[in-house]
């Protein structure tokens, strides 16, 4: 009690320059984190010599909760909150509530991650191992986790293993809370002792540890170009809005110049962050894509046409050019959506964390946008994208949401075309409408592109003297001027060039068609992307803003689920998964009720006293009547009588759980959302076109040892059909690439899926394809672009402490900027590999629930991600590190869009 009073007095005496908002915000954090009353902070601080290892001080902070809250403290706290924070409660609650409602609704990874984290943690007790293998890594405990257990008062019976991890034979809970010697006894202790389970979740949260690890931090940078933080700034609304727009347009720094001092690496990495490479891949928003039109005329188109040795393969390059353009605008819209949402989500989590932000400016700017009413008097809280997830209402205006969030309008601008002004669909028809004479048996795009690499196709073109069966029809299809050039060269082609070398004729056609093939498409991309980017600006308000926030939240959380190996869901798979998840929801709700008895100050727990008050003061779906958040104060105060009547009622849904409001009618056919590739059966996106993710009961019930046994062995039968088809292909028109393709297929079929020593995926295996085209997919679902040899990213090296241990912090997310000279090998995906490989390239294979292979792929990817999270590493095959900080307030309060470090 004296400690709490001292905290309150210090709070009043030491008010900083950020004003009342920071005061209220930091007090809320202290009250929430005080749990059962007082807070004891244990701080570990190490000075490390700058020249030898780490050039900054290492700070490590843990929080351990003790004591009880008295009624006197309650009265004092409410009074102080009322005096200092009442004007800010409404907008703060608005932003936080919106973030929490959407997170609860869209957090598909929770159930699967919760299941696997308990498996992986239990497997580190009792077994022990003395080998440097991935199996032993799963049976031993990381230095990070061991030290964290010890900081929270656990006693471990352990010995260091040869893999620099620890064999742990027993785990003794503090204060007589029990002991665990294996997974079974650990689960029993956690099930029967809520306090022990709560303490375990402070060490490592089975619910939100997924979001406070290196993988999520790096994933946000590598997929969306944004940091796991609020990076907005500005001391006026105008400056704040300008920062908002700039972050949506160009993202955050993510490359490290290795000539920089480590301390300055992040701030000095100010090169243009958004970029597109010669294969049409990269990170770019609609705004930054609109600035890249020259790349489509130069490096992208040049890279594509350079790979063509026959007229038919040149037609394949035109089709791929069209595919890449469509993929790019769809991808850019997804990135813009995610970045826009992150601006709101990160500020909300900043408020929850009590972090210093630009005070009232951030809250005022964002809250005003949400509460601004349209001509019908409706604002963001009236949007389907709020009321459906928060209240379980039915969708009323699906058409408007689809219009705003699908890429269909963008694609509509790109597709049409004619000679001299080819669009994407027109370019694809250059291949599939048989402009070039060929003898392909398979008349699909894949069959035709494959035929383009064959000696038989080159012979067909040469026997017809090139001009009539190939050169003239293809050139005139692309453009009038190109047709004129090739028409005038008929005699030269037929009498001299074609008999000597078909490839020389192809080069002539390339030169003749280049200008018209790229005449309008780059400009269409620029115009369409620039116009569409206006939807994602700081001036977007109300329902339209909420629609983007919902879709962007779904994109960010969905991408995390995707990174864990989960499949894009359809109605059937999602229904089964949600039924299983409901059992977890009931368990977590019960935990919240138990916790609420001893944590009445937790405003994020709807079962606590303050949480239920907040739920009534800012009831879900109650729109603030004015165009400014300040007008919400009257609404807040007028609801007091209603709140008093219902203040002890049970909350509607525990935070941090899967939603109880999910309806399968929300899901819709893939084509409605502009997803190509005939995937209507395999994928059913949510009503804002964000992809949902699931796992089967069989995948969730896999044993870790069973997964590892399967993944560390070769399974040539799974690749035999594909290998036979590739080996039988005629690639004599492009022998160097053809041999590379066949060698990759042979190597992949013979190898174990992962290296038994490290656990790293072996290149060219079916699992490597799963990782590239499902887990780390760059093309939109259903889209097909280039088959690219993946290169491992190069990161800033983790520093070493005085004990020789690797440590990590946010800087560890920075990568070395790719070297333009080190370009990966690539080829048109339409012509690469086997027929079965086409399903990898489009993503269709990623939705396969029937095969044993895919079951183990998903299980291993999930287990590997969990182990990495428990080891301070990016992937389970990477070196363990010890993070420089850990704040259990983040993991126990659902703070996921701000890194605790």
Please give the residue that has the higher pLDDT: either 594 or 713: 713
d(CA 117, CA 178): 20
pLDDT tens per residue, range 49-89 = 332 233 333 334 443 333 333 334 444 444 444 444 444 44
- Give one word for 45, left, alpha or beta, with left for phi > 0 and alpha for psi -120 to 50: beta
797 vs 817, more confident? 797
**Chain mean position to CA 80:** 40
User: According to the model, what pLDDT value does residue 477 have?
Assistant: 98
Residue 648 CB neighbour total at 10 angstroms: 9
What would the pLDDT profile of 736-766 be if each residue is shown by its tens digit? 999 999 999 999 999 999 999 999 999 999 9
Helices (H), 697-834: 697-700, 704-711, 717-727, 735-750, 766-770
Determine which of 251-265, 620-634, 779-793, 845-859 has the lowest per-residue pLDDT on average.
620-634
pLDDT over 90 at 18, yes or no: no
Q: Record the pTM.
A: 0.86
pLDDT-based confidence at 811, cuts 50/70/90?
A: low
Distance of CA 601 to the CA centre of its chain: 33
Q: What is the mean pLDDT of residues 538-542?
A: 96
Nearest of 457, 521, 497 to residue 315 by alpha carbon: 457
The predicted-structure confidence for 259-287, as pLDDT tens digits, reads as follows 555 444 444 444 557 999 999 999 999 99
Percent of the chain with pLDDT over 90: 66
Residue 214, pLDDT above cutoff 70:
yes
555-600 pLDDT, tens digit per residue, is 999 999 999 999 999 999 999 999 888 877 776 667 666 665 555 5
Q: How far is CA 225 from the centre of its chain?
A: 10
What's the average model confidence in pLDDT over 153-158? 95
Q: Specify whether the CB–CB gap between 74 and 600 falls below 8 A.
A: yes
- For range 844-865, the mean pLDDT: 97
| Per-residue confidence (pLDDT) for residue 7, from 0 to 100 | 35
pLDDT in tens, 238-254: 999 999 999 999 998 87
Q: How far apart are CA 310 and CA 316, in angstroms?
A: 10
Q: What is the pLDDT of residues 165-204, one digit of tens each?
A: 999 999 999 999 999 999 999 999 998 888 898 899 999 9
Task: Give the distance from CA 530 to its chain's centroid.
Answer: 24
Residue 696 confidence (pLDDT)? 96
The partner residues of 125 in beta bridges, in order of sequence, read: 168
Evaluate if residue 318 carries a pLDDT over 60.
yes
Give pLDDT, residue 91: 83
Beta strand segments in 288-397, E: none
The confidence band for 363, taking pLDDT boundaries of 50, 70 and 90, is confident
Residues present in the chain in total = 901
For residue 394, CA distances in Å to 101, 387, 632, 665 come to 16, 8, 26, 9
Stretch 609-620: mean pLDDT? 47
Q: Taking 80 as the threshold, does the pLDDT of residue 332 lie above it? A: yes
> pLDDT tens-digit profile of 419-446?
999 999 999 999 999 999 999 999 999 9
Tens digit of each residue's pLDDT (9 = 90 or more) over 83-102: 444 444 478 888 999 999 99
> 640: which residues sit within 8 A by CB, 6+ positions away?
617
More confident site: 878 or 34 = 878
Mean pLDDT score of the chain:
83
Is the C-alpha dihedral spanning 564, 392, 379, 643 positive or negative?
Answer: negative
Mean pLDDT of 631-642: 34
- Segment (H or E) for 664: none
The one-character DSSP state at 52 is: T
Cα 380 from Cα 621, distance rounded (Å): 9
Choose between 527 and 261: higher pLDDT.
527
Higher-confidence residue: 33 or 384?
A: 384
């Amino acid at each position: 009690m004296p400690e709490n009073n001292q905290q309150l007095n210090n709070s009043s005496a030491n008010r900083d320059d950020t004003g009342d908002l920071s005061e209220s915000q930091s007090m809320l954090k202290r009250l929430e984190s005080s749990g059962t009353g007082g807070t004891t902070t244990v701080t570990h601080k190490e000075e490390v010599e700058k020249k030898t290892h780490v050039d900054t001080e290492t700070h490590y902070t843990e929080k351990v909760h003790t004591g009880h809250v008295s009624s006197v403290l309650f009265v004092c706290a409410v009074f102080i909150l009322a005096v200092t924070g009442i004007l800010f409660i409404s907008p703060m609650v608005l932003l936080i509530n919106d973030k929490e409602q959407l997170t609860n609704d869209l957090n598909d990874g929770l159930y699967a991650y919760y299941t696997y984290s308990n498996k992986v943690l239990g497997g580190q007790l009792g077994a022990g191992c003395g080998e440097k293998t991935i199996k032993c890594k799963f049976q031993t405990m990381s230095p990070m986790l061991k030290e964290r257990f010890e900081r929270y008062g656990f006693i471990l019976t352990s010995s260091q293993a040869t893999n620099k991890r620890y064999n742990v034979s027993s785990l003794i809970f503090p204060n007589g809370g029990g002991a665990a010697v294996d997974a079974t006894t650990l689960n029993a202790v956690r099930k029967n002792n809520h306090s022990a389970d709560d303490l375990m979740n402070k060490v490592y949260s089975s619910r939100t540890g997924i979001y406070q690890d290196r993988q999520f931090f790096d994933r946000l940078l590598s997929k969306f170009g944004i940091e796991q933080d609020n990076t907005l700034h500005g001391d006026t609304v105008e400056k704040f809005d300008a920062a908002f727009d700039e972050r949506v347009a160009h993202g955050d720094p993510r490359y490290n110049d290795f000539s920089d001092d480590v301390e300055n690496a992040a701030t000095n990495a100010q090169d243009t962050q958004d970029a597109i490479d010669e294969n049409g891949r990269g990170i770019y928003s609609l705004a930054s894509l609109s600035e890249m039109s020259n790349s489509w005329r130069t490096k992208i188109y040049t890279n594509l046409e350079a790979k063509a040795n026959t007229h038919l393969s040149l037609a394949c390059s035109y089709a791929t050019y069209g595919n890449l353009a469509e993929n790019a605008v769809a991808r850019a819209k997804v990135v813009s959506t995610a970045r826009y949402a992150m601006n709101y989500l990160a500020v909300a989590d900043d408020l929850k964390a009590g972090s210093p932000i630009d005070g009232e400016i951030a809250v005022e700017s964002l809250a005003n946008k949400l509460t601004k009413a349209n001509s019908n008097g409706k604002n963001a809280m009236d949007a389907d994208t709020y009321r459906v997830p928060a209240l379980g209402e039915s969708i009323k205006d699906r058409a408007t949401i689809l219009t705003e969030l699908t890429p269909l309008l963008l694609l509509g601008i790109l597709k049409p075309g004619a000679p001299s002004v080819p669009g994407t669909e027109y370019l694809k028809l250059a291949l599939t409408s048989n402009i070039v004479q060929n003898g392909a048996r398979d008349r699909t795009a894949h069959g035709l592109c494959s035929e383009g690499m064959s000696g038989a196709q080159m012979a067909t073109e040469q026997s017809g003297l090139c001009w009539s069966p190939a050169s003239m029809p293809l050139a005139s299809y692309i453009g009038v001027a190109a047709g004129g050039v090739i028409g005038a060269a008929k005699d030269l082609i037929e009498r001299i060039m074609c008999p000597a070398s078909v490839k020389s004729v192809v080069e002539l056609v390339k030169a003749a068609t280049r200008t018209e093939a790229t005449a309008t498409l780059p400009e269409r991309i620029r115009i369409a992307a620039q116009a569409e980017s206006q939807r994602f600006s700081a001036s977007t308000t109300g329902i339209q803003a909420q629609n983007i926030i919902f879709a962007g939240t779904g994109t960010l959380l969905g991408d995390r689920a995707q990174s864990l190996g989960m499949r894009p869901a359809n109605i059937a798979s999602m229904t089964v998964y949600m039924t299983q998840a409901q059992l977890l929801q009931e368990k977590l709700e019960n935990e919240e009720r138990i916790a609420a008895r001893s944590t009445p100050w937790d405003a994020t727990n709807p079962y606590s006293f303050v949480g239920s008050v907040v739920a009534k003061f800012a009831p879900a779906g109650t729109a603030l009547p004015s165009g400014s958040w300040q007008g919400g104060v009257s609404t807040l105060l007028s609801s007091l009588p209603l709140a008093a009547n219902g203040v002890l009622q049970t909350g509607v849904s525990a935070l941090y759980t899967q939603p109880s409001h999910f309806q399968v009618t929300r899901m819709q056919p893939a084509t409605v959302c502009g997803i190509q590739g005939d995937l209507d059966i395999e994928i059913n996106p949510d009503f804002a076109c964000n992809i949902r993710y699931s796992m089967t009961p069989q995948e969730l019930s896999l044993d870790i040892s069973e997964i590892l046994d399967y993944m560390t062995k070769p399974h040539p039968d799974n690749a035999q059909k594909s290998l036979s088809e590739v080996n039988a292909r005629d690639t004599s028109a492009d022998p160097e690439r053809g041999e590379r393709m066949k060698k990759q297929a042979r190597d992949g079929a013979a190898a174990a899926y992962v290296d038994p020593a490290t656990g790293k995926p072996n290149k060219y295996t079916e699992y490597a394809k799963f990782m590239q085209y499902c887990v780390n997919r760059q093309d939109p679902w259903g889209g097909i672009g280039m088959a690219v040899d993946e290169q491992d990213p190069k990161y800033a090296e983790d520093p070493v402490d005085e004990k020789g241990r690797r440590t990590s912090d946010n800087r560890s997310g920075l990568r070395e900027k790719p070297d333009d000279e080190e370009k990966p090998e690539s080829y048109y995906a339409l012509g690469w590999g086997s027929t079965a490989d086409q399903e990898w390239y489009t993503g269709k294979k990623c939705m396969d629930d029937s095969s044993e292979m895919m079951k183990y792929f998903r299980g291993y990817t999930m287990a590997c991600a969990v182990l990495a999270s428990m080891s301070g590493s990016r992937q389970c095959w990477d070196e363990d590190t010890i993070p420089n900080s850990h704040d259990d307030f983040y993991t126990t309060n659902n703070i996921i869009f701000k890194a605790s470090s």
